[in-house]
Amino acid sequence: MIFRKENIKNMTTEDLNKVRVELLKKRMHSRDLLETECFENMSDLIDAEIQRRIA
C-alpha cells in the first residue's frame, strides 16, 4: 500500500479515514521498525490532508 501525495488529495475524506484506520491497525501489529516508520509517515500525510480539509 503506497500512497503518493497527489493520490491522497484525490481521495474522499471518508476514504482517507478508512485508510487511516487500516494504517493504525497495521502499525500496531508490525514488528519491523522500518515498516512501522513507513506506516507512521503515511498516517502523518493522511492526517495532514484531513486537517487541511477540516480547517
Helix pair angle (13-29, 33-54), 10° resolution = 160
> The pTM is what?
0.75
Instruction: Give the length of the chain.
Output: 55
Instruction: Report the sign of the C-alpha dihedral through residues 40, 42, 45, 48, in that order.
Output: negative
Q: Alpha carbon of 53 to those of 10, 25, 26, 31, 45: distances in Å?
A: 12, 23, 25, 32, 13
Q: Please give the share of the chain, as a percent, with pLDDT higher than 90.
A: 27
What are the pLDDT digits (tens) for 26-48?
A: 888 889 998 888 888 889 989 99
pLDDT classification of 50: cutoffs 50, 70, 90: very high
Q: Which has the closest alpha carbon to 23: 4, 8, 53, 44?
A: 44
